[in-house]
Homo-oligomer: A and B are copies of this chain.
């Protein structure tokens, strides 16, 4: 009995390949990653890659999109259905959501978008619409709801949800560049939230 040289698994291939590609891109970035390297990681021949993805760029786009899975949608749902007071929600679910980001695949995608984004405007648009815009809108909407309820006062911050993301962004970048120099990203994000709340509380 000889074991077959390969198995036909048309259905699972795309996911396996994008997963392998994600790992490879995470390690070396897009440009420095070889299609053949991705193929080896996926336990597949190079030729097969081109049956599922026409070009290396298309593979790249598929990888980015695969990470965008309803991560934000989940948060938005919580925002809309929570029973908590605005402050409690912010200090609880929102804070812990934010604190998870720097160590999540999102950080990798940010790195990839910084490196390759300028050459893929459509991909950037996609990411903006499905992640950033939605996320900002959710935060912004939540803040104005707090204002309506009399929990928060109106201020410049209400219209600048970016301030919530700022420490998250710094944490992501820090993690990418200064892997040596430790930074307590949880504390950084928590402190910013503290400050924001103190600033907008009615």
Contact = CB atoms under 8 A, between A and B. Distances in A.
Interface of A: 29, 31-32, 110-111, 113-115, 117-119, 124-125, 128, 132, 156-157, 160, 162-163, 165-167, 169-170, 173-174, 176-181, 183, 187-188, 191-192, 194-196, 198-199
A163 B176 contact: no
14 contacts: A32-B119, A114-B115, A114-B173, A117-B177, A118-B176, A124-B178, A132-B178, A160-B188, A162-B174, A162-B188, A163-B188, A173-B173, A198-B198, A199-B199
* Copies of this polypeptide in the complex: 2
A114 B188 contact: no
Contacts of A32: 31, 119
Given A31-B31, A117-B176, A177-B124, A162 B170 contact: yes
A169 B173 contact: yes
Nearest to A117: B177
